[in-house]
Structure 1
Amino acid sequence: MRAWIKGGRMARLSIKARIVSGFGVVLATTVGVAVSGYMLVTQVGTDFAEYQQNRAKTEHVRSVDMAMMQTRFELSRWLQRFDAAALKVARDHLDKSLALIERGSAIGLSADELAVSDRIGKALRAYGAEYANLARIKDEELALQGRDIDQAGDQIAAALSQRRTRAFESGDLDQARMLNGAADAFQAARDQLVPFKATGDAKTLAAAGQSAAAAQGKLQGNADLAAKLTAWRAALERAAVLAGEWSKHLKLSRVARDDSMKASESLLAGATREGLAAEEDFARSVARGTTSFLLKAVGIVILGILISLRLAGSITGPLQRLSGAMAALGSGARSIAVPGTERADEIGAMARTVALFRDGLIESEQRGAEQRRDTDAKVDRARHLEALTRGFEGKVSALIATLTAAAGEMEAAAHSMSQSAAQATSLSAGVAEAASQTSANVGSVSSATDELSASIDEIVRQVAHSSVIAGRADAEAARTEATIRALAAGAQQIGDVIQIITSIAGRTNLLALNATIEAARAGEAGRGFAVVAAEVKDLATRTARATDEIAGQVGSIQAQTVQAVQAIEAIGGTIRDMNAIATGVASAMERQSAATGEIARNVQHAAHSTQVVSGHIDEVQRGADHTGGTADQVLHAARALARQAATLEREIGGFVAEIKAA
Structure 2
Amino acid sequence: MKHLSNLKISARLFSGFGIVLGLMVLLAATVSVNLLGTSQDVVDYRRTAVNTNQIGRIQANLLATRLAVKDFVKTGSDSAIAAVRERHAASMALFTEAEQSIKNSQRKAALAGMHAQMEQYGQTFEEVTALQVKRNELVAILNTIGPSATASLEATVDIVSGNGKPVQIAALVIAMEDLLAMRLEANKFLLDNRHQDLESAIAFKLAGKKNAEMLRGVVDDAVVDTLVRQLTAYENTLRSVGEVIEQRNTLITGTLDRIGPQVAEEIETMKLDYKSVQDTLGPQMQSDTENSVVVSIAVATVAVIVGVLAALLITRSIAGPVGGLTSAMGRLSDGDVATQIPSTEQKDEIGLMARAVQVFKDNMIRAQELEEQEKIQQAERNRRTEAVEMAVNDFQSQITERLEALRGVSDELGQSADTLTGVASETKEQSTGAAAASDQTAANVQSVSAAAEEMDSSFGEIVSQVSRASTSVENTSGRARQTLISIEDLQEQSEGIAQVIELITGIAEQTNLLALNATIEAARAGDAGKGFAVVASEVKSLATQTGKATEEISDKIRRVQEACGISVGAVRAIVTSIEEVNEISAAISAAVEQQKAATSEITRNMQEAAKGTEQLSSNIARVNEASDRTSSTVGGVTTAARRTEAEAVAMKDAIDGFIQRVKAA
TM-score calculated relative to the size of structure 2: 0.46
Larger Rg over CA atoms = 2
Q: Which is bigger in relative contact order (C-alpha 8 A, separation at least 6)?
A: 1
TM-score calculated relative to the size of structure 1: 0.46
